[in-house]
Structure 1
Amino acid sequence: MAFIWHLTIVEMKDNLLVTGTVLKHKTSIDKQPKSILRNFWNVITSYQKKPYKTKLITLEMESKSFEIMTSKRGYFFEILPVKNLKDFRLYDHTHNELAIHQFHPVYFKNLETPIEVVSDIDDTVIHSHTASVLKRIYTLLFKRPKRRKKVLFSNSLLDFLDENQLRIFYLSKSESNLFGLITSIFRFNEIPNGALFLTPYLKFKSLFKPKKGNHKLRFLHQLLTNLPDKSFILIGDDTQKDIDIYTQVVHTFRPQISKVYIRQTGFSIDEIQTKKWEALKQTGIPCTYFQDEDDIDLEIESLKQLLNL
């Protein structure tokens, strides 16, 4: 039987963004291992599930239904011409109902506040060591969710934005295999809830040579295009391509970008990072290159003035 592993539905201005992953067999989503060995096993087995590939699933509501095709990795992404979704059901290609068991929220309403927040996860919200493939894999395998540490500056900033009822989107290059692990880390660290966008399912060997394309850019383009009346705060780090992506987004959607935050992950900034940071600053958008020990209270006061909060 098919099984919804991850589902995120976001209200836009005039439509809905629907994305997620379908697997072939039901499996436990809530990953709260009691030992390092169990954590190791949970992560390894999450790369051995079989995706529900190239099959039609159907989203039904009171007056409409939509057919959505999954990819060869069981992944789906659709923009549907519906303003809001009240009661709905999902069915597989044989019209068996797909149960939704995830603990993380599924549906994210369009809030009245004029500002939205987009944040990376790995090394922006939680320490993940993505600059090194081996360190990242070691952290995934041997660090239980309750042992994973959050980035204090970023989380204090997100807490403030969440308290002011700004909707948060978490946009990560992490693969859908890790949905249960990531949401467990969020609960242990009391990280504010938000729509969770992950890349398609991977096989374990792909961890060493991941090919994830322009996933972040694609989602950002959809969010900003379909929320033209909103402005955005972008939060990322300097370990992967966040600075490049955010600079490109600023050039394309400049009137919609209120501020960009980049976390400095190392003790120093090298020549490449410096050039990328200068390119971002030259866009003229307010931006902050922060370190973990920076004064968050001072930054929040500055942000209040910028956003009139």
Structure 2
Amino acid sequence: MKRLIHRVALKAEHLFDRVFGRTGKGRVIDPYIGYATPDGLVVRGRVLSKIARNKPAKGQRLLTNMRQMLSLFLTDEVKAVEVRSGDVTTKSDEEGYFTLHLPRPATAGWHDIEVIIEGFEDIAICPALVPRGDARFLVISDIDDTMIQTGAYVLWKNLWTSLTGNALTRHVFPDAVALMERLSQDGRNPVFYVSSSPWNFHYFLQHIFHHGGLVRGPMFLRDLGLSENQFITGTHGDHKGGSIDTILAANPDLPVILMGDTGQHDAQVYLDAITRHRDRIHAVVLREPGPGPDPEVKAVMDRIATTGVPLLHAPDFKGMAPETGLT
């Protein structure tokens, strides 16, 4: 049945592309935030035929917000395009994504990496983070209902918030801003964000983070596109668990604080991460949005507590920084 749905959805997407002319000849890079590994620098982005950057304004109409949000999904991805940074080249995949593996810079901090598309003069800047040598730990955090109020634990609330708001109306939790600033220690400790939101939201989320004052960090979002070999992606847990594994492998010497909420499946994802990386998980921090954890999530939280990994949970993050034991 899944194969049948996959084929039907793929044909529908191809038909949509032909009808609406999503075959633009332009080439432009949508840059994502990259990160360092022990041996190199991972630079990421997506090749599109064009990019429409919305400019939200306070008090703009509901229909304007909805139109701008829907436009984030109407992208024209360009495959098999050669992308280069310095002497390193790669090609965009079927959904337009590319990854460049570059030498690791000698200095820590943020690096602006110039990336070009062969045959086009425009230069894209893909930022990438190299952790400091004195970092004591790293933070991996969920976004929806952990950093930003979304209502993801109730489908209709999530959809309404996602489609009717803009980057200026989305509510960033002040206690999340304060906790992340305390944990990052002015950039000493790297922060990563893992979310099931689609990569189409990358620029949108950066705008929200900047406007709300959240600590900047590489994001690991989800590919919701269709391809010949893929029907959407794996589960919420597969994506988040795989991203956690990737981040820990890129920072093999640092313990990690995992942050999330009790509204979805973060507790189970983090319990599984503890099973795989028991010696790396320093603490789990969970916000309890809405009605709080249901019996199933409570049971998972009890299992986390039995592992010996400190579990901090409350309706907000106020006062939690000292309790992590690393600030």
Match of 2:265 in 1: 241
1:48-127 → structure 2 map (5 Å cutoff): 48-60=74-86, 65-77=87-99, 80=101, 82-84=103-105, 88-92=113-117, 94-100=118-124, 106-112=127-133, 113-127=135-149
Measure the CA separation in 2 of the matches of 1:11 and 1:199: 20
Measure the CA separation in 2 of the matches of 1:239 and 1:269: 7
Matched, 1:15 2:40: yes
Q: 1:142 aligns with which of 164, 175, 197?
A: 164
**Paired residue type of 1:22:** V
Match of 1:302 in 2: 323
More displaced 10-residue stretch of structure 1: 156-165 or 243-252: 156-165
Measure the CA separation in 1 of the matches of 2:81 and 2:200: 19
Measure the CA separation in 1 of the matches of 2:197 and 2:102: 28
Q: 2:209 aligns with which of 156, 170, 186?
A: 186
Unaligned runs of 5+ in 1: 204-208
Measure the CA separation in 2 of the matches of 1:83 and 1:269: 42
- Write out per-residue CA displacement over residues 52-103 of structure 1, whole angstroms, 9 at most, x where no aligned residue: 234332232xxxx33333332222346x3622286743232x43245336xx
CA contact (8 A) 2:84 2:115 kept: yes
* 1:201 CA drift (Å): 5.3
Measure the CA separation in 1 of the matches of 2:291 and 2:153: 13
RMSD across aligned positions (CA): 2.5
Where has structure 1 moved over 3 Å in runs of 4 or more? 85-89, 209-213
Q: Which has more radius of gyration? A: 2
Match of 1:206 in 2: none
CA contact (8 A) 1:43 1:178 kept: no
Unaligned runs of 5+ in 2: 1-25
Measure the CA separation in 2 of the matches of 1:97 and 1:250: 47
* 1:139 CA drift (Å): 0.8
Change in Cα spacing, 1:145 to 1:98, as seen in structure 2 (3 Å) is same
Change in Cα spacing, 1:72 to 1:288, as seen in structure 2 (3 Å) is same
Q: In percent, how many aligned pairs have the same letter?
A: 22
SS at match of 1:58: strand
Matched, 1:3 2:28: yes
Higher relative contact order structure (alpha carbons within 8 Å, sequence separation ≥ 6): 1
Structure-1-length-normalised TM-score:
0.83
Q: 2:50 aligns with which of 25, 48, 55?
A: 25
Match of 2:13 in 1: none
CA contact (8 A) 1:4 1:21 kept: yes
